[in-house]
Amino acid sequence: MSESKFEKVSSLVDNYHNDKNESVELFEQLNTDSVLSDTWSHYHLIGDVLRDEIPSEILLDFSTQIAQEIAYEPTVLAPKKSTLFNAVKAKVVQFSKPFGQVAIAASAAGFMVIGVQQNVAQNEIIMPSQVFQTTPLAGFAAPVSFNTESTNRLSQKQMYIEQQRRFQALLSDHYQQVKLSASKNDSQTLPTLEVEDSVK
């Protein structure tokens, strides 16, 4: 075994092969020559270590292990085609088909209903001029009652603002009155410092 051959293997491992014919020749030798194939794997291992790519568990000979596993694997004989299985499958298909059709029909009907409802709803909304749009709660009221409801809501909003203003006014007045209440006249309700000190 010449040194040049190992060198060639090394360059092949490092992806530096120049001549295509030469590398094809080398691959054939790798197949036949056990020393050379060992060198090939050793070079790869060295490369992996240098590049820090070694796995936690080094399997030096992966191929032999796989070969062993295959040898241990029990032979599975191809099972006979079961006629029973086919029969069941056919039945299932028969059952599921009508159901599927019913489901499709039902959903189509559902779409139609929704579509119709949407159309009705749209027509309804177009009629009265509303300040703010609300989704109708139940059924479809006549335009007149719809209109009155909207004004009710408007006044409700106004009432809410009014209410908030009232609460705010009360709150700020309460705070101010409390501040003003703490005048000299209240000294009777609050004990003086001297009394407290004498207690201690």
- Whether 12 contacts 23, CB under 8 Å: yes
User: Which residue's CB is nearer to other proteins, number 71 or number 190?
Assistant: 190
Total residues contacting other proteins (rule CB under 8 A)?
33
Q: Chain-centre distance of CA 47, in angstroms?
A: 41
What does the per-residue mask of binding to other proteins show for 30-69, with x meaning CB under 8 A?
----------------------------------------
Segment contacting other proteins by CB under 8 A, of 23-31, 78-86, 132-140, 159-167:
159-167
Determine the length of the chain. 200
Whole-number minimum distance, CB 46 to other proteins, in Å? Answer: 59
Supply 75's token pair.
């032979």
The reply on whether position 140 binds other proteins by CB under 8 A is no
The reply on whether position 18 binds other proteins by CB under 8 A is no
CA dihedral 49, 52, 57, 60 (to 10 degrees): -30
Cα–Cα distance measured from residue 79 to residue 85, given in angstroms and rounded to the nearest whole number: 13
Q: Which of 20, 80, 81, 184 binds other proteins (CB under 8 A)?
A: 184
Within 13 Å of residue 100, how many CA atoms lie on the same side as its CB?
A: 6
Q: Which of 52, 57, 73, 186 binds other proteins (CB under 8 A)?
A: 186
Whole-number minimum distance, CB 186 to other proteins, in Å? Answer: 7
Residue at token pair 């009014």: 162
Q: Report which of 38, 40, 47, 43 is spatially closest to residue 23, judged by C-alpha positions.
A: 40
Question: What residues make contact with other proteins under the rule CB under 8 A?
Answer: 163, 165-187, 189-193, 195-196, 199-200
